[in-house]
Amino acid sequence: MAYFLDEMTVKDMMEVISKTTTIILPVGVVEQHGYHLPLSTDYHNANEVPRRAGERLNAVVAPTVPYSYSGGDLPGTINVSPQVFSLLIMDICLEFVRNGFKDIVILLGHGGTDNKIALNNCLQMIMKRMPENSDVTFSLVEVVMLSTTCQEYFNMEPEHDFHAGLAETSLMMFWKPELVREEIVMDEPDISKLMRTDQDWFELSEKPFDHDYVIPRKFQRKEIKVGVMGFPEKANIKIGEKICNEMVDGLVEYVNILNGRRQ
């Protein structure tokens, strides 16, 4: 069964560590999700999956980290620099190891290129600097990668369903319907199309002058006013339930693999 760290006592911890040495750290972000979804959407993406796994999940679930790096700057988005974010995750993970956990799963409700690069680098550094714990594993798991339905929508051609689109809106309709607004607003049609074609198109890169040595400055394109990258108008609660079940199944399956190695 799932054991929730924020509900446990010292005695509970001593007992649980003899039952499982796997711990899951959900990670979200405070980020704009259009006019129809709350800023906390990616927090729920990370938090709801292990909670709904319930009795099937033999792991400890840590409290969700709500802040990370979005990369966007529309109203309501709160960015924590990738460097600071990765140091926070590094310290948390080291404390997990000190407490006796052997398999640490970072469950990402928000992916993001910069986020994932920072996390991968910090976890690699932990492993380099603690060779005495070579049997400890660190895993980066994006919740969207646990669902084949999500992947199908992400890989649609010629335009994909990404941020605040069909998949995310359907999920929120399923597990937090009270937070979903009816009003769906999109950017101008040509802008929306470009964002559905490339999830990193929102970010512009420029240099004061063109030379290989000069580091480019990156910033969100000013023509983006809403930032929805998908087809939220096609969302429904049944799709959300299907995606949720796939995510839960995928997480349980992976945790069982980790636990099986320790038996």
Q: What is the pLDDT of residues 203-218, one digit of tens each?
A: 899 999 999 999 999 8
**How far is the C-alpha of 152 from the C-alpha of 181, rounded, in Å?**
25
Q: Is the pLDDT of residue 133 over 80?
A: no
Q: Is the pLDDT of residue 72 over 80?
A: yes
Q: b or e along 184-222 (b: 16 or more beta carbons within 10 Å of the residue's beta carbon)?
A: bebbeeebbebbbeebeebbeeeeeeeeeeeeeeeebee
What average pLDDT does the chain have?
95
Q: Is the pLDDT of residue 171 over 90?
A: yes
**Please, which residues have CB within 8 angstroms of residue 144's CB and are 6 or more apart in sequence?**
45, 111, 150, 151, 154, 167
Measured CA distances, 115 to 43, 121, 148, 188 (Å) = 14, 10, 22, 28
Helix (H, G, I), strand (E, B) or coil at 107: strand
Q: Is the pLDDT of residue 248 over 90?
A: yes
User: Could you state, in order of their start, the residue ranges of all structural domains in the chain?
Assistant: 2-262
**How far is the C-alpha of 9 from the C-alpha of 62, rounded, in Å?**
13
Structure tokens given for 152: 């199908």
Tell me the pTM. 0.94
CATH 3.40.50.10310 fits 2-262, yes or no: yes
Structure tokens given for 145: 């990668």
Q: Mean pLDDT, to the nearest integer, of 225-230?
A: 95
